Copies of this chain bind each other. A is one copy, B any other.
Amino acid sequence: MRARLSTRSSAPVRQSSVRAHNLALVLHTVANNADRPSRAAVAATTGLTRATVSALVDDLIAGGLLTEVGPAPRTGAGRPAVGLVLGDTPAALGLEINVDYLAACVVDLTGAVRQRFVERADQRPADPGQALTALGGLAARARAGAEADGLILAGAALAVPGLVTEDGLVRVAPNLGWQDVDAPALLRGAPALADLPIAVDNEANLAALGELRVTGGDPTFLYVSGEVGIGAGLVLGGELYRGVRGWSGEIGHLTVFPDGRLCRCGARGCLEQYAGQEALADDEQLAASALGIALAAVVNLLDVPVIVLGGAYAPVFERLRDGIGTELRQRVLTAGLAPAELRPAALGADAAMRGAADAIIRGVRDDPADWLRRAG
């Protein structure tokens, strides 16, 4: 998804971009209509002519992106037309490496999980090459299962607990002990991944994208991933905000007590030292209060209306809620006008790898013309 192009441009509107725009429009129209719309219904919704819609639908069906099925049952009069639904291909491979597990899944075009493998093992003793070779093995099993189902893969994406550059280079993953690891190159060494586009991203960013896809309702929220470290993924207006170098979301290193505990990063009083997985096990109320102070900063700064707590926070959410809420009410200037909502993550431990696969799927759904060219 790092290579995904923006659809905005100041170039003049030409025929090829009109076709690409309209292909995406038709695909989204079908995806957002659970009633299996006919070609005529798609034409009516989009304002395109029926002939144009039919040509676009034929291309999308040929590429596997749409399928024609019987219409939804109905009681009205008239001959029911054949309806359109999303196809299930292309699908995407979501991968994750974290401190104590490896994971792989395949998600199809509709967002359904078709394969899922998790292997628990401490990754800290392994060097990056060993760890990613093991992950390549898991990917091979997921891919074989998907292809046995007739799915075609559009790409793979890896979630990593660290800072990732635009090229997928892992600059630092402190809790894995990684520094400057060329993760795409190492993954391409695995036979199951050699022929796929590979993206790499921060796990909290990808978990936030996964949450966005599953819940649908909140286009702007902060996803906080409580692991050994604490990361955050910021979704603004339905888009992940990465920061200029892709290094946003380092909420674990927000200062909560300027003269407090020494952090692995060298600073004093970082949130991670009060609300990371180990501190959380020691003292849940201190963790809640420290989280509240840091989250108040986020809400004051960004006017984010929803905060989603994932990772280690999700199972203890109810016990953290009051302590966090107390700080938010005291410290957020607009708390009296419209308080921020707190909720646990919907996807649990699979959030990051689901988000990784979803990022590939979103790329296809937003620019089906590109996929049709590649597949054609």
Q: Which residues of A line the B interface, CB within 8 A?
A: 8, 10-14, 18, 21-22, 25, 28, 46-48, 163, 171, 220, 232, 234, 236, 241-251, 253-258, 265-267, 270, 293-294, 296-298, 300-305, 330-334, 337-338
Contacts and interface: CB of A to CB of B under 8 A. Distances in A.
| Chain A binding surface SS class | loop
A14 B47 CA distance: 9
A348 to B, nearest CB: 24
12 contacts: A13-B13, A220-B244, A244-B303, A247-B303, A247-B334, A248-B303, A250-B303, A250-B333, A253-B300, A253-B331, A255-B296, A265-B333
A48 B10 CA distance: 12
Nearest to A242: B303
Residue of A22, A232, A244, A249 most packed against chain B (CB within 10 A)? A244
Contacts of A255: 256, 293, 296-297, 331
A244 B296 contact: no
A246 B303 contact: yes
A243 B297 contact: no
B22 A12 contact: yes
Contact of A250 (B12, B22, B249, B301): B301
Residue of A10, A18, A46, A331 most packed against chain B (CB within 10 A)? A331
B330 A267 contact: yes
Nearest to A305: B244
Contacts of A246: 303
A3 to B, nearest CB: 18
A359 B19 CA distance: 34
A258 B293 contact: yes
